[in-house]
A and B are shown apart, each in its own frame.
Chain A
Amino acid sequence: MVTFHFVPYHEIDDLSSAKRVNKLLNLVKQDKIVLLEGRLKKEEEADLIEITMEEIGDQFKGIELAVIYPEKENMAALKRLKFDLARMLVGDRQGFTIVGPASIVKRVKQNPRSIELFTQERRRKKS
């Protein structure tokens, strides 16, 4: 069984960068695959990777991370302006972010518009 935990952006909107990263990581360490509305700031994503590495041990092997984000290059100029303004005012709520424990998510295959999540196979015990 795989558990997906949806985190709407407003749940992290008022949190500091450190608290955002900790919130997501704590959920992942409960063996949940986190679906975050929007995305973290780029420096927060790097912090997530760094803190993940610091927490790796016998019980926690790390994470798989994927972000689906609209391609600004293909947007008309006015739409791009609206996009940037919205991001400034209410945070980066476009697209979504997936963070899963490496013990459950074996691999993420990603291209700009889709994500394939491959989970670890669990061997069934013979009865």
Chain B
Amino acid sequence: MSAVSNIPHETREIQIKEQITIQDKKGKSLSFSLVDTPGIATKIDYEDFIKKGLKEGVAKKRAKEATKGVIESIKWLDNMDAVAVVLDATEDPYSQVNVTIVGNLQARNIPVMVVGNKIDLKRARLSKLKAAFPQYDIVGISAKYGKNIDEFYEGLFKLVR
């Protein structure tokens, strides 16, 4: 739904795709609206964008947009029937933001699926995600190469059953 970039906070606005239908192996179908939100962070510094090659004016604008996007993301969590929390499987999962957001959703009885992305990379460690979130089913995918997407869809079916 969004562009991919090595510059953080590429997705800075809520994006909604309505009337998506997927089918499981048994032919059962699931229709839903998908809301893609910016990743939730606790800090944003425009100087990080300058280090990635952006000019100061563009970096400051991106930082402002990213900050607004994070605020919107947190507010949108109230409206969700289920949430797939997508984490980078190559990164340390024990960030408090991840724990806080997942814990918050659990406290509100919103079903959560934890998705570990980038399993195409050698340094991906799904085992670390499983250790950090033992009470959740973890699905590993590669969004870049479309790996394991069927398992992701199966996870969605289980999530909203």
Contact = CB atoms under 8 A, between A and B. Distances in A.
Interface in B30-61: 40-45
A110 B104 contact: no
Given A42-B100, A46-B104, A50-B71, A110 B44 contact: no
Interface stretch (B90-98, B115-123, B136-144): B90-98
Interface string B85-117: 000000010111101110110110000000000
B42 A42 contact: no
B71 to A, nearest CB: 5
Contacts of B106: 42
A38 interface: no
B44 A42 contact: no
A102 B43 CA distance: 7
A53 B96 contact: no
A62 B104 contact: no
A127 to B, nearest CB: 26
Given A54-B71, A67-B96, A67-B99, A49 B45 contact: no
Contacts of A73: 134
B101 A102 contact: no
A46 B102 CA distance: 10
A83 B107 CA distance: 18
A66 to B, nearest CB: 5
Given A49-B74, A102-B42, A65 B97 contact: yes
A110 B45 contact: no
B-side interface size class: 20 to 34
For the complex, would chain B's binding face be called helix, strand, loop or mixed by DSSP majority?
A: helix
A66 B100 CA distance: 10
Interface in A81-127: 102, 108-112
Contacts of A63: 42-43
Contacts of B100: 42, 45-46, 49, 65, 67
Contacts of B92: 109-110
Interface string A23-42: 00000000000000000001
B70 interface: yes
Contacts of B95: 108, 110
Contacts of B104: 42-43, 45-46
Contacts of A110: 92, 94-96
21 contacts: A42-B107, A46-B77, A49-B97, A52-B42, A53-B42, A53-B71, A53-B74, A54-B71, A56-B63, A56-B67, A61-B44, A62-B44, A63-B43, A65-B42, A65-B96, A65-B100, A66-B96, A67-B96, A102-B42, A108-B95, A110-B96
Interface of A: 42-43, 45-46, 49-50, 52-54, 56, 61-67, 73, 102, 108-112
